[in-house]
């Protein structure tokens, strides 16, 4: 699984010009799923996201997690995170999992985040054409890949 995490003061998903979901202070998580991803990846990544210390404490040091600030999480599926641009100029998405694999893993990922966060997580709609709006706070943007745990 590969995620791009953005600390936001607000974020929303529009589908067909209607707001589908929105959050205030928290994390926007764009997630791409590969065929090789497992429940182990989901649990590790969810725990990492919920405990990631990217929010400022009273001394303005990034020392608090989304859980500690009682923030929100918005998760949006994005298969293009697994784009390969090695050959030519047209990206290949061969590493992205097919829907029959990725949809159940995406749903399990959202459920695990809710469990770890202790409250509901907002989402987009898997496979839908979505317009994502966000105010990146910082800016703070972090990329995590479960196949390359750094």
The residue to which tokens 């159940």 are assigned? 104
The upper half-sphere exposure of residue 115, i.e. CA atoms within 13 Å in the direction of its Cβ, equals 12
Plot region of 17 (φ>0 → left; ψ -120 to 50 → alpha; else → beta): left
One of 80, 123, 141, 146 is an active-site residue; which one?
Answer: 80
Judge whether 123 counts as a catalytic residue: no
Q: Which of 43, 145, 47, 31 is nearest to 97 (CA)?
A: 31
Catalytic annotation, residues = 80
């Amino acid at each position: 699984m590969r995620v791009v995490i953005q600390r936001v003061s607000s974020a929303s998903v529009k589908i067909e010009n209607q707001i589908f979901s929105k959050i205030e202070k928290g994390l926007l998580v764009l997630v791409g799923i590969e065929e090789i991803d497992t429940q182990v990846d989901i649990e590790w990544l969810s725990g990492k996201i919920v405990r990631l210390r990217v929010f400022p404490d009273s001394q303005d040091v990034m020392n608090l997690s989304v859980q500690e600030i009682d923030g929100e999480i918005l998760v949006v599926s994005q298969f293009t995170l697994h784009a390969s641009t090695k050959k030519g100029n047209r990206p290949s998405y061969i590493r992205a999992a097919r829907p029959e694999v990725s949809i159940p893993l995406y749903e399990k990922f959202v459920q695990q985040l809710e469990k770890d966060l202790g409250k509901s997580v907002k989402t987009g709609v898997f496979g839908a054409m979505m317009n994502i709006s966000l105010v990146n706070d910082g800016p703070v943007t972090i990329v995590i890949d479960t196949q390359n745990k750094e």
